[in-house]
Every structure is written in C-alpha cells, then in structure tokens.
Amino acid sequence: MSWAGSADLQAAIWTRLDGALAVPVHDAPPPGPLPDLWVSLGAEDGRDASDASGVIRDVVLRIEVRGAAAGFAALKRVAAEVEAALAAPPALPEGRVVWLRLRRTRTAHGARGRAVRMDWDVRVEGPAWGGE
C-alpha cells in the first residue's frame, strides 16, 4: 500500500472546494487571526483494498467547517455547500475516484471555536495508489 496518490486526491478535493465555496479552504489552520468561517482538509486514514481487478485504496477523509460563530447555523450552511460541491467525484491525474460518500457528520465546540466535522468514504483505484 502506498501514499503515492494521496497528494493528488487532496489536491483534487481542495481544487473542487476552493472553486465552489465562498470561504477559504486550508489543510492546516491559517497563520494569523483565523477567518470567521473556513474549511479544513483534515486527517486521512487509508487502507489497501486491492484485489484481482487492480490497485484499490479505501480512504476516510475528514473535512471540517470551522468558525468562531456563536451558533452552528452558518457552519451548517457551509457544510451543505461542501456536500453539494462533492456530489460528483473529482478527477485525478492518474486513476479515478470510484466513489465519494459522506459517512458521518457531527458538531463540536471548544476553545478554538465551533466545527462541523464530516467524514467522507473515498474509494480510489489506479496505478498511483500501488507500490510500497
């Protein structure tokens, strides 16, 4: 199993979201003061699901809508926009996204603000996902 195609998947998701959302998209907290609302491409957990048909990787990708709002309404609206933007799988330079499904959502709040966390199941196949 390899991380070879992971950067391509992250770039494809980022490009799709950055083009569809009116809030910034980051893969780490931005430097300086945090925006009122922003989207974070978070943790990724992958496993090899290859079989006789080829190289396959199943990934759980976390995307979070983060913000300092007093309530969750604005974050939930952006989360709905994320869901709409990812209704169709993005294209990859090598291989393909077989599916992209929203698995679970939850809200959280703490010292760093509020968040809507979305875990996405992604299945990718192709040569970029093979190797060691």
pLDDT, one tens digit per residue, over 32-75 is 888 899 999 988 998 988 888 888 899 999 999 999 878 899 99
Structure tokens at 90: 């993005």
Residue 70 near residue 99, CB atoms below 8 Å: no
Q: Which fold has domain 6-129?
A: STM4215-like (3.30.2000)
Structure tokens at 129: 């996902």
In the predicted model, is pLDDT for residue 132 greater than 60?
no
More confident residue, 9 or 130: 9
Radius of gyration of the chain (CA): 15
In the predicted model, is pLDDT for residue 102 greater than 50?
yes
Domain residue ranges of the chain, discontinuous segments joined by +: 6-129
